Amino acid sequence: MSKSKCVHAAFTRLAALVLMPIGVLSLNGQAPAKTYKHASQYQVAILDQNLRVATGSDLTLGKTTTDAKLGAGGQGIHLLHTDAGDYRVEAPVNKGMTFMSAMGSNAYHPAQTIHNKWFLDGVQSGTKVLFASECANPNKKHPNDAVRCTFWFPDPDSTTHEYETLGDFTPYTAGDGSNTQKTANTLCGTGKLNPQTEAQLCAPVIQPIPPPPPTPTTATQPTPPTPPTPQN
């Protein structure tokens, strides 16, 4: 085979490899649609409350100048409830502004963590919220202590973007954790509680109803047999 034919064959094979993805794309019609990265991990929670906590070292950055003036300072905290426990979600951190604050800090102007306002600030309490989370392993000696978590929330204004932020998770303890039952066992019936609390806390003691006495039975006398009739 001549040198020109070898070069032509190599170019043909290279062109086929380059054009192969285009052919596959044309056969499928379109490329696979991009979606939320953590969609398979999403779970549902109920938003209990939105808080704005003044920590002294956190600020919330508004999207506009007017928004920043109207919004309260401090750090946005969002409390979520699930059957497994409660999540405390912190508003996302503006990494660029936080880095600039750290670079310009000194003994008189300490660094501050800058948070962004986001969609959860406007969600009403009692609303269902979709999110994914990855949390640290619980302490073996204290399994009910809060652990730090990373959260991903799908952006309602996008079909691909997720908000990534931090927070923590506190699992539920066994039982309801209330102090009423032990208190009732100790104080009910002693006269130390006021009547109103006694009525609410202490269930009335129901005395068991004794069974009725047995009914005496009269012994029946056996009927004597009829004597035979004499024959003539």
Please indicate, yes or no, if residue 54 is contained in any of the structural domains.
Answer: yes
pLDDT at site 226: 73
Please indicate, yes or no, if residue 146 is contained in any of the structural domains.
Answer: yes
Instruction: State the sign of the Cα–Cα–Cα–Cα dihedral 157, 159, 165, 167.
Output: positive
pLDDT at site 22: 41
Instruction: Provide the domain limits for residue 166.
Output: 39-171
Please indicate, yes or no, if residue 154 is contained in any of the structural domains.
Answer: yes
Q: Cα–Cα distance between 149 and 92 in angstroms, integer?
A: 13
Per-residue pLDDT of the chain (232 residues; tens, 9 = 90+): 554 555 455 545 544 444 444 444 444 556 567 889 999 999 999 999 888 776 655 556 665 544 544 455 677 889 999 999 999 999 888 788 778 878 887 888 888 777 788 899 889 999 999 999 999 998 888 888 999 999 999 999 999 999 999 999 998 866 555 677 777 778 888 888 888 888 887 876 555 677 777 777 666 666 777 777 766 6
How far, CA to CA in Å, does 82 sit from each of 12, 27, 89, 92?
Answer: 60, 45, 13, 21
Q: What does residue 216 show for φ and ψ, rounded to 5 degrees?
A: -65, 140
Q: Cα–Cα distance between 128 and 82 in angstroms, integer?
A: 10
Please indicate, yes or no, if residue 208 is contained in any of the structural domains.
Answer: no
Cβ–Cβ < 8 Å for 73, 62:
no
- Report which residue type is found at 19: L
Which conformational region is residue 177 in: left (phi greater than 0), alpha (psi within -120 to 50 degrees), or beta? left
Q: Cα–Cα distance between 45 and 149 in angstroms, integer?
A: 15
Q: Cα–Cα distance between 215 and 207 in angstroms, integer?
A: 24
Q: Cα–Cα distance between 63 and 98 in angstroms, integer?
A: 15
Cα–Cα nearest to 41, from 172, 162, 171, 145: 162
Please indicate, yes or no, if residue 223 is contained in any of the structural domains.
Answer: no
pLDDT at site 54: 67
Please indicate, yes or no, if residue 227 is contained in any of the structural domains.
Answer: no
Q: Cα–Cα distance between 93 and 72 in angstroms, integer?
A: 16
Q: Cα–Cα distance between 94 and 109 in angstroms, integer?
A: 19
The H or E element that residue 6 is part of is helix 3-28
Q: Cα–Cα distance between 22 and 15 in angstroms, integer?
A: 11
What's the whole-model pTM score? 0.59
DSSP 8-state class, residue 61: E
Residues in CB range of 1: below 8 A, 6 or more apart = 9
Beta strands per DSSP E along 56-112: 58-61, 75-81, 85-90
pLDDT at site 45: 95
Please indicate, yes or no, if residue 188 is contained in any of the structural domains.
Answer: no
Please indicate, yes or no, if residue 222 is contained in any of the structural domains.
Answer: no
Count of the separate structural domains present in the chain:
1
pLDDT at site 18: 41
